[in-house]
């Protein structure tokens, strides 16, 4: 870290109350770009006086390095204290070079790859002038209707904790003054992903047990990884909006977890306390949020208008304001902004890094390792000798595959499936037919005939299907998350005329694929794969890359199964999996659908054939302080070199509170040569067996457990052991 000699306490002493409050206010860059003239638009509506802008502490969003430098220069001229602005942005899955959405990337089960992607994004963003990113988003999710599942790490709290912490470590890099790194902000605390009915911003009601067991671990892991900032969620949690939720923000976050960093509201969330109906006006909302430890008001303008008066009226102490300002200034100091207010950003660096070869190569590998081969009835990989290839569907030539929250990524800079296949097979005859749209209520099938003819004449058919980018992401929820429009119909008709057909699915969520699952011989889930998506698709389809991604959010058979997740508690009347397709009266099941998902958490095929030969334990009983070694033997019974994610699941058979039927407790991604056999070992220690008992104490209990390998809904070997106290 660069040594800064700025004396923060002396600086605070020299500031007026108005100037201090300004440090707790965040506005968008548009406010600053206009600040020479009188302010217009949202700034004017918010009643912001142009002459006050110099007091403001931070900025959200801007286009490029030169804008940031321009705003910072102007600000430093006007601010008598020369306190640099801090620039923040949502750098979610890449900056200019876009890697797959997190819901896909986490399915790589490769924390090092996630780190590589985060480092690359941090580097590009920092060169452009970003100093803080609103990442990672680690909201626990179970409902595919919610549009923001695409940003999340999926339905397993253990995996999400590892992936969340990996992002924090890579983004911050141990020294945020380094031009390669940024400060990270974990969000959205808490349980934003539990929105009722999968509708964004909706109410969340969750028991303390559910919060501690499923929703909290990933936020806590980010706090433990040293994340500098945290953002409360928009939703109310058990009746109280997070921004003003004392139990959440004080008792849990600060007192229990010891978080000592900076808290920033979500966009306009202080204002929304009034809409939630817990505050009468901005004055009360500001008092509630600030007293709850929300230091910065993002874009509500509530602190700007009210904090000073609240101090003067004795409602908030000036010491509390000083404490919040100190945190803001300390972060600026740690970023090295007092010495270099640009954090080494420059248009030259920005241009040389954006989409450079090294970054494109990372994006390609990430897209290959995130895609999931859901199904393969022997058609994939396609032979590279195929001469005539038909690409059919609305994603055949679509550039819009980078996904929502793509920051400064541009669709036109991505490779399409058509480009990917053409680059890989320059001598083949490739025909693309869009055939239909991906709009949810479009019924037009007039393009089918051309597509069917193309399919009939092709050696191989690639169906390029999915939902448009703006069907997921913030505010974009669906009650019917199946393939929109007539795409399922198209797929079924095509698969009838050409058996050598594989479908690629582009989407921001697991879609309900039941309609095409039986008819289409092979299905590859691409998610929104980013800049190199088309090349990754081609490499995977034609065997230049071997699929190894796994599902991290279950694909339901029907939306009526939502919320559906593998690690649910047992009921008193479960239905046995062998009756999956039969209705059983007085059992926990449905008349018209099975209980299992179509594709469960942990599922993902390979061109290799991984045979799980055995799972053994070195002892069947162990105590606190001891280790239990689990050995899993796997054989690659194929000619393909490949990678397998070896997953270890645990079930606590009898405990004082209901336990999940399975929980992932360890995993390792292992590389195999053709016909290679490997023994993968895991250690189980007592803390891995702890859970929240009936009183929410985190303890382990003596008794029997099972340990299994395989995937969540298809355990291949299971063995029992006992924990003795």
Q: What are the CA-CA distances from residue 637 to residues 70, 613, 641 (Å)?
A: 60, 11, 10
**Number of residues lying near ligand BGC (CB under 6 A):** 6
Query: How far apart are CB 264 and ligand BGC at their closest, in Å?
Result: 9
Work out which of 19, 64, 90, 143 binds ligand BGC, going by CB under 6 A.
90
**Neighbour-count burial for 301-335, b at 16+ CB within 10 Å, e otherwise:** bbbbbbbbebbeeebbeeebbbebbbbbbebbbbb
Q: In what order do the strands lie in the sheet with 714-724?
A: 621-623, 714-724, 703-711, 642-652, 663-672
User: Catalytic pick from 110, 156, 266, 713?
Assistant: 266
> Which is it for strands 703-711 and 642-652: parallel, antiparallel or unpaired?
antiparallel
Helices and strands: H and E segment counts in the chain: 22, 26
Instruction: Please tell me whether the peptide bond between 563 and the residue prior to it is cis, using omega within 30 degrees of 0.
Output: yes
> Which is it for strands 25-28 and 297-298: parallel, antiparallel or unpaired?
parallel
Task: Report whether 548 contacts 669 (CB < 8 A).
Answer: yes
Question: Distance between CA 533 and CA 404 in Å, rounded?
Answer: 14
Window 153 to 192, contacts with ligand BGC (CB under 6 A): 187
Residue 266 is a binding residue for ligand BGC (CB under 6 A):
yes
> For residues 104 and 232, which CB has a smaller minimum distance to ligand BGC in the complex?
232
> Which is it for strands 677-685 and 627-636: parallel, antiparallel or unpaired?
antiparallel
Helix 157-172 / helix 111-128 crossing angle, nearest 10 deg: 40
Q: Is 299 left (phi over 0), alpha (psi -120 to 50) or beta?
A: left
Question: Distance between CA 511 and CA 529 in Å, rounded?
Answer: 16
Neighbouring residues of 574: CB distance < 8 A, sequence distance ≥ 6: 587, 588, 661
Task: Report whether 597 contacts 564 (CB < 8 A).
Answer: yes
Query: How far apart are CB 341 and ligand BGC at their closest, in Å?
Result: 22
Query: How far apart are CB 206 and ligand BGC at their closest, in Å?
Result: 19
Query: How far apart are CB 474 and ligand BGC at their closest, in Å?
Result: 6
> For residues 474 and 515, which CB has a smaller minimum distance to ligand BGC in the complex?
474
Query: How far apart are CB 429 and ligand BGC at their closest, in Å?
Result: 45
Residue 333 is a binding residue for ligand BGC (CB under 6 A):
no
Question: Distance between CA 566 and CA 554 in Å, rounded?
Answer: 7
Question: Distance between CA 106 and CA 370 in Å, rounded?
Answer: 7
Query: How far apart are CB 227 and ligand BGC at their closest, in Å?
Result: 14
> For residues 136 and 594, which CB has a smaller minimum distance to ligand BGC in the complex?
136
Window 424 to 443, contacts with ligand BGC (CB under 6 A): none
Query: How far apart are CB 28 and ligand BGC at their closest, in Å?
Result: 9
CB-closest chain residue to ligand BGC = 134
DSSP bridge pairs for 681:
631
Work out whether the CA dihedral 611, 670, 604, 465 comes out positive or negative.
negative
> For residues 214 and 267, which CB has a smaller minimum distance to ligand BGC in the complex?
267
Name the token pair of 444. Answer: 């037009």
- Binding letters toward ligand BGC, positions 35-74, x by CB under 6 A: ----------------------------------------
Residue 618 among the catalytic residues: no
Residue 474 is a binding residue for ligand BGC (CB under 6 A):
yes
Query: How far apart are CB 680 and ligand BGC at their closest, in Å?
Result: 37
What does the DSSP assignment read for 306-371?
HHHHHHHTTSS-HHHHHHHHHHHHHHHHHTTTTT-TTTT--HHHHHHHTT-HHHHHHHHHHHHHH-
Query: How far apart are CB 266 and ligand BGC at their closest, in Å?
Result: 5
Residue 134 is a binding residue for ligand BGC (CB under 6 A):
yes
Window 540 to 579, contacts with ligand BGC (CB under 6 A): none
Work out which of 27, 32, 267, 565 binds ligand BGC, going by CB under 6 A.
267
What does the DSSP assignment read for 460-498?
EEEEEEE--GGGSSTT---SS-BS-TTHHHHHHHHHHH-
DSSP letter, residue 197: G
Query: How far apart are CB 41 and ligand BGC at their closest, in Å?
Result: 18
Q: Give the HSE-up count for residue 715: Cα atoms under 13 Å, Cβ half-sphere.
A: 19
Helix 111-128 / helix 357-370 crossing angle, nearest 10 deg: 140
Residues designated as active site = 266
| Chain residues in the site for ligand BGC (CB under 6 A) | 90, 134, 187, 266-267, 474
């Amino acid at each position: 870290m660069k040594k800064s000699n700025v004396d923060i306490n002396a600086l605070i002493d020299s500031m007026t109350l108005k100037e201090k409050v300004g440090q707790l206010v965040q506005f968008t860059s548009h406010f600053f770009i206009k600040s020479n003239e009188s302010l217009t638009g949202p700034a004017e509506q918010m009643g912001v006086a142009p002459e006050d802008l110099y007091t403001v502490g931070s900025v959200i969003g801007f286009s490029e390095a030169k804008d940031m430098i321009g705003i910072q220069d102007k600000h430093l001229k006007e601010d008598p204290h020369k306190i640099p602005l801090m620039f923040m942005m949502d750098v979610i899955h890449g900056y200019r070079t876009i890697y797959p959405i997190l819901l896909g990337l986490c399915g790589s089960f490769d924390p090092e790859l996630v780190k590589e992607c985060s480092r690359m994004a941090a580097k590009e963003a920092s060169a452009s002038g970003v100093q803080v990113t609103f990442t990672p988003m680690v909201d626990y999710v179970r409902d595919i209707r919610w549009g923001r599942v695409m940003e999340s790490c999926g339905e397993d709290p253990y995996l999400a904790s590892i992936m969340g912490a990996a992002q924090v470590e890579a983004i911050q890099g141990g020294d945020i003054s380094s031009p390669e790194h940024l400060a990270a902000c974990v969000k959205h605390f808490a349980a934003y992903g539990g929105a009722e009915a999968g509708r964004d911003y909706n109410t969340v009601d969750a028991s303390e047990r559910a919060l501690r067991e499923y929703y909290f671990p990933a936020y806590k892991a980010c706090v433990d990884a040293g994340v500098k900032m945290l953002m409360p969620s928009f939703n109310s949690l058990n009746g109280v909006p997070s921004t003003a939720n004392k139990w959440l923000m004080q008792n849990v976050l600060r007192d229990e977890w010891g978080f000592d960093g900076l808290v920033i509201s979500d966009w306009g969330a202080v204002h929304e306390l009034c809409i939630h109906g817990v505050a009468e006006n901005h004055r009360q909302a500001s008092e509630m949020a600030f007293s709850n430890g929300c230091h910065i008001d993002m874009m509500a303008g509530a602190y700007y208008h009210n904090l000073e008066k609240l101090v003067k009226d004795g409602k908030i102490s000036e010491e509390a304001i000083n404490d919040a300002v100190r945190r803001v200034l300390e972060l600026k100091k740690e970023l090295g902004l007092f010495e270099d207010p640009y954090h080494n950003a420059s248009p030259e660096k920005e241009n040389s890094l954006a989409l450079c070869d090294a970054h494109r190569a990372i994006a390609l590998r990430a897209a290959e390792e995130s895609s999931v081969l859901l199904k393969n009835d022997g058609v994939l990989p396609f032979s590279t000798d195929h001469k005539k290839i038909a690409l059919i569907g609305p994603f055949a030539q679509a550039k819009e595959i980078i996904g929502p929250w793509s920051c400064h990524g541009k669709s036109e800079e991505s490779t399409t499936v058509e480009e990917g296949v053409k680059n890989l097979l320059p001598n083949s005859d490739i025909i693309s037919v869009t055939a239909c749209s991906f709009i949810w209520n479009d019924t037009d099938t007039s393009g089918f005939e051309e597509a069917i003819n193309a399919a009939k004449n092709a050696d191989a058919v690639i169906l390029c299907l999915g939902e448009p980018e703006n069907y997921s992401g913030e505010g974009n929820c669906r009650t019917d998350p199946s393939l929109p429009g007539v795409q399922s119909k198209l797929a079924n008709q095509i698969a009838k005329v050409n058996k050598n057909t594989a479908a690629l699915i582009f989407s921001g969520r697991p879609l309900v694929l039941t309609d095409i699952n039986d008819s289409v011989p092979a299905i590859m889930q691409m998610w929104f794969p980013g800049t190199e998506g088309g090349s990754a698709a081609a490499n995977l389809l034609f065997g230049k890359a071997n699929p190894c991604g796994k599902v991290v959010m279950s694909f339901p058979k029907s939306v009526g199964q939502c919320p559906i997740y593998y690690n649910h508690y047992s009921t008193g009347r479960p239905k046995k999996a062998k009756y999956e397709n039969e209705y059983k009266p007085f059992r926990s099941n449905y008349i018209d659908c099975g209980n299992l998902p179509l594709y469960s958490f942990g599922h993902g095929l390979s061109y290799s054939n991984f045979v799980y030969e055995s799972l053994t334990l070195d002892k069947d009983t162990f105590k606190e302080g001891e280790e239990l070694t689990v050995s899993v033997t796997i054989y690659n019974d194929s000619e393909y070199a490949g990678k397998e994610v070896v997953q270890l699941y645990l079930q606590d058979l009898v405990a004082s509170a209901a336990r999940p039927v399975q929980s992932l407790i360890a995993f390792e991604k292992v590389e195999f040569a053709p016909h290679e056999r490997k023994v993968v070992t895991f250690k189980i220690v007592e803390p891995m067996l702890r859970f929240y008992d009936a009183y929410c104490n985190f303890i382990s209990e003596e008794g029997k457990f099972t340990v299994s390998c395989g995937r969540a809904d298809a355990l291949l070997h299971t063995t029992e052991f006992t924990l003795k106290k």
